[in-house]
Structure 1
Amino acid sequence: MRKITMIVADDEPVIVNGLKLIIDWDSLGVEIIGEAMDGQELLRLLREKEPDLIVSDICMPGLSGIDVLREIRKSDSPSKVIFISAYKEFAYAQDALKYGALNYLVKPVDTAALEQVVQDAVAVIRNDSMEERNRGKLEYLERNVRVRTTEELLDRLTDGDEGAIPELERIGQFWADRQHAVCVAEWGRVSPEEGRWQERERKLIDFAVANIMGEIVRGIPGSAFFRKKDAFCCLLAVDELDQAVQLANNIRDSVKSYLKIDLAIGIGRLMPNGRDAVASYRQAQAALERAYFIGQGQVLSHNSLQEQSGEYQATAHQAKLLQAMLTASPDAELSSTVSELLDTLRLTSAGSKHAALTGFYSTLMLLRQELNGMGVTLELLEEYAHSFLQRMSGIATLPEMESCFHESLEEIQRQLKTKLGSREIIQIKQVKDYIESHYAENITLDKISGLLYMNSSYFSTFFKKHTGENYKQYLTDVRMKHARRLLLQSELMIYEVAEQVGYSNARLFSEIFRKHFGMIPHEYRQTKGKLV
């Protein structure tokens, strides 16, 4: 335990020496670190040494003890004061206690009384010090909890959960007089050195990047840093898009300076409110993709993509290609469809390798998105999502790119035929689309199986085989998803929410909701979903 530091002050040297000798200060845990013979010297020592405790005469040349005590309080110094004086007047003691002195002793000082007063002072100082440490720990924990809460809410918001908006507004995340933009950053997605980073090294770099980016972003009022899987994301509060670009450049340059790695950053459009966060986030992702086409360490905004070459949109040929692959069209028809698509991509790329790559990549990612939505995952498409850009960027000519792209599509179709019959894929999508549109109705097993002209027993097996869930559970999941949304985003009564998601019995709805989320709808609404 550290010692309490003390300064002794009196204009009579014999008193100072006497105070030093009459008590075993060491046994009290006190160390005398200075002596003063007048008020000015005491004030100088106070500022220089910042003692925990001062034992001082109240009347000294230059400045009185009361004057020094006023300075202590004015500067918010934590130093405690015990006064000793030859004067018994009540006015002295009254002033001393008024300005915060711990005690007031009259000369000649009784040793036992002084020792008791000092012991009491030591206890007060140690208690204040402990409270200060605890307060610091509490503030640190509160800051951490707030940061984690903000990150979780922003993660939910950029996934489309608008129920996070009221909570973000409550903690002051959205400013009414400022706009916001979502930024997404990644490092090392394209690395010329295969296997350059070991897993442990990657984690350390991730930690360092998050620290640098978080420190910069949290210094901007109304802004916040958060993670989404491997990406580093932030919500920037700005007045115009150029400010967001400037901040992103600052982040990129800082990471480059400290870590010697390239950070690519995509910036979504400005949004006036949180409901546009999903759009801004997706645009930031799209901009990030293009940043890697152009070169590592790029910062690109959604607007800059449109200015440079126009954001690539899925063409009718892409949709036709998807349909051909799903319906298992003959190879000749598929080849013709691919050729038409390549002609379109060649025209829209206007001779730009990067624009052509964008077209190839967006086509593959469209296929991946549609198939995943049907519950079909192809390993080749998952692999392409992470490595296609790297593979294709090394190809020198457009014809070679087109040939490689064509071969990739043929392999995807082979895997698709092996994975599932295309007719069955379409049937599963048809069922899911119907449930999403009619979940509020009484969709019986017989009714849904009738859509596919199957008997209910076979349909149950068919649905479980292709989705991993039984039909009833899937329907319940969809209804509960929409019930949660209505509870958080509307003021409908519980029975009205139940009716809107397909339950005529509110009690049954509440019980199913409780099993799904761990609490009844009313409790869930009160907590705003914070515990789920």
Structure 2
Amino acid sequence: MENRTEGKKRGKEMNVLIVDDDVPYLNSLCREIHWKALLAEEVYTAMGGAEAMEILRARAIDLLITDIEMPGKSGLHLLDWCREESYRCMTIILSSFPDFSYAQRAISLGVFSYLLKTSEYSVLEDMIRRAMVELMRRREQQEETSEARQPGQIEKIRYYISEHISEEINRSMLAKYVGFSPEYLSSYFKKMTGQSLNSYINSEKIYFSQKMLLQTDLPISMIAQNLGFETSSYFTALFRKMTGMTPREFRKKRTGVKDQLF
């Protein structure tokens, strides 16, 4: 079955859902745990299993922290439902008292940890940190698997750049086109090609500018503008850095024609 928590590539931040009918305890968890330090992007709360299910349907939850004893749908009922619906979020179970049968059932459902509510917040925070590390490891593994299954992604990126070469290429739009996060796009391209994304974009723009210098008599300032450079001076500096000569020198050397400045 499809993993309902998977989708487009995401960054390092994780979404957390805490489920507990004990409102004071629920509020204390939100207040006492250092969520930002644990890379929690959003911390959602629910006071019962039914409410938790609605949040799970609407949000991509990475870590579920739930009380095991709740009226109506218990924590175990919630875990059974998550399994049936293919929500593969990692789970930490909280219990008010030790119960071997509860713990045994929770472990059989694949929970990451089973903790007593009497545990200090530091113990719970340490367990959440471990869960986050494991989640990140799994996410990276999933992304590597996705890379292996999608060998055409680099070609797709290069195609987008070639089609938008006359624009100031927006990394966010490019990332959306291939279904990656902007951060993952950069690291993925570097990993697969050995060249940074910005370096590749600049090299393609300079290559295209060389063709325009040789095949047209457009002024350098217009070529720079048509390739999405903010100023012709920046274009000239980048051209010299990558070719060892200015655009004017390049055109004159190759064609013998002096360039129009404007």
**In the TM superposition, what is the alpha-carbon distance from 1:78 to its structure 2 partner?**
2.4
Which of 59, 65, 70 is the matching residue for 1:55?
65
Is 1:76 aligned with 2:86?
A: yes
Which of 101, 112, 132 is the matching residue for 1:102?
112
CA distance in 2, matches of 1:97, 1:49: 25
Summarize the alignment of residues 253-264 of structure 1 with structure 2, pairs less than 5 Å apart. Answer: none
Is 1:134 aligned with 2:148?
A: no
Residue identity matched to 1:99: L
Identical-pair percentage: 28
- Going from structure 1 to structure 2, the CA distance change for 1:135 and 1:74 (only over 3 Å counts) comes to same
Summarize the alignment of residues 477-496 of structure 1 with structure 2, pairs less than 5 Å apart. Answer: none
**In the TM superposition, what is the alpha-carbon distance from 1:74 to its structure 2 partner?**
1.8
Residue identity matched to 1:68: L
Which position in structure 2 is the counterpart of 1:46?
Answer: 56
- 1:26-77 CA distance string (max 9 Å, x none): 1111134321111111111111112111111011122111111112122222
Summarize the alignment of residues 437-516 of structure 1 with structure 2, pairs less than 5 Å apart. Answer: none
SS of residue in 2 equivalent to 1:136: helix
Which of 48, 57, 75 is the matching residue for 1:65?
75
Residue identity matched to 1:20: C
Is 1:30 aligned with 2:40?
A: yes
CA distance in 2, matches of 1:32, 1:12: 20
CA distance in 2, matches of 1:8, 1:64: 13
Residue identity matched to 1:119: R
Summarize the alignment of residues 344-359 of structure 1 with structure 2, pairs less than 5 Å apart. Answer: none
Which position in structure 1 is the counterpart of 2:129?
Answer: 119
Superposed CA RMSD in Å reads 2.0
Residue identity matched to 2:68: I
Contact 1:51-1:79 within 8 A present in 2 as well = yes
Count of paired positions: 145
CA distance in 2, matches of 1:70, 1:36: 17
Q: Which moved more, 1:69-78 or 1:115-124?
A: 69-78
CA distance in 2, matches of 1:98, 1:81: 12
CA distance in 1, matches of 2:70, 2:119: 17
CA distance in 2, matches of 1:84, 1:32: 20
CA distance in 2, matches of 1:76, 1:126: 19
Which position in structure 2 is the counterpart of 1:86?
Answer: 96
Give 5+ residue unaligned stretches, structure 1. Answer: 145-199, 202-532
Which of 3, 14, 36 is the matching residue for 1:4?
14
**In the TM superposition, what is the alpha-carbon distance from 1:92 to its structure 2 partner?**
0.6
CA distance in 2, matches of 1:31, 1:83: 21
CA distance in 2, matches of 1:108, 1:101: 19
Contact 1:84-1:109 within 8 A present in 2 as well = no
Which position in structure 1 is the counterpart of 2:27?
Answer: 17
**In the TM superposition, what is the alpha-carbon distance from 1:119 to its structure 2 partner?**
0.7
**In the TM superposition, what is the alpha-carbon distance from 1:138 to its structure 2 partner?**
0.6
- 1:201-233 CA distance string (max 9 Å, x none): 9xxxxxxxxxxxxxxxxxxxxxxxxxxxxxxxx
Contact 2:92-2:112 within 8 A present in 1 as well = yes
Contact 1:3-1:29 within 8 A present in 2 as well = yes
CA distance in 1, matches of 2:75, 2:123: 20
Residue identity matched to 2:149: E
SS of residue in 1 equivalent to 2:61: coil
CA distance in 2, matches of 1:109, 1:31: 24
Residue identity matched to 2:112: L
Summarize the alignment of residues 149-160 of structure 1 with structure 2, pairs less than 5 Å apart. Answer: none
Moved over 2 A (4+): none
Greater share of helix: 1
CA distance in 1, matches of 2:94, 2:41: 19
Q: Which of the pair has more CA radius of gyration?
A: 1
CA distance in 1, matches of 2:36, 2:85: 29
Which position in structure 2 is the counterpart of 1:303?
Answer: none
**In the TM superposition, what is the alpha-carbon distance from 1:87 to its structure 2 partner?**
2.3
Contact 2:12-2:136 within 8 A present in 1 as well = no
CA distance in 2, matches of 1:102, 1:122: 11
Contact 1:54-1:81 within 8 A present in 2 as well = yes
CA distance in 1, matches of 2:119, 2:24: 13
Which position in structure 2 is the counterpart of 1:151?
Answer: none
CA distance in 2, matches of 1:34, 1:119: 17
Give 5+ residue unaligned stretches, structure 2. Answer: 1-10, 154-161, 164-262
SS of residue in 2 equivalent to 1:82: strand
CA distance in 2, matches of 1:15, 1:23: 12
- Going from structure 1 to structure 2, the CA distance change for 1:44 and 1:73 (only over 3 Å counts) comes to same
Q: Taking CA–CA contacts closer than 8 Å with sequence separation of 6 or more, which of the two structures ends up with the larger relative contact order? A: 2
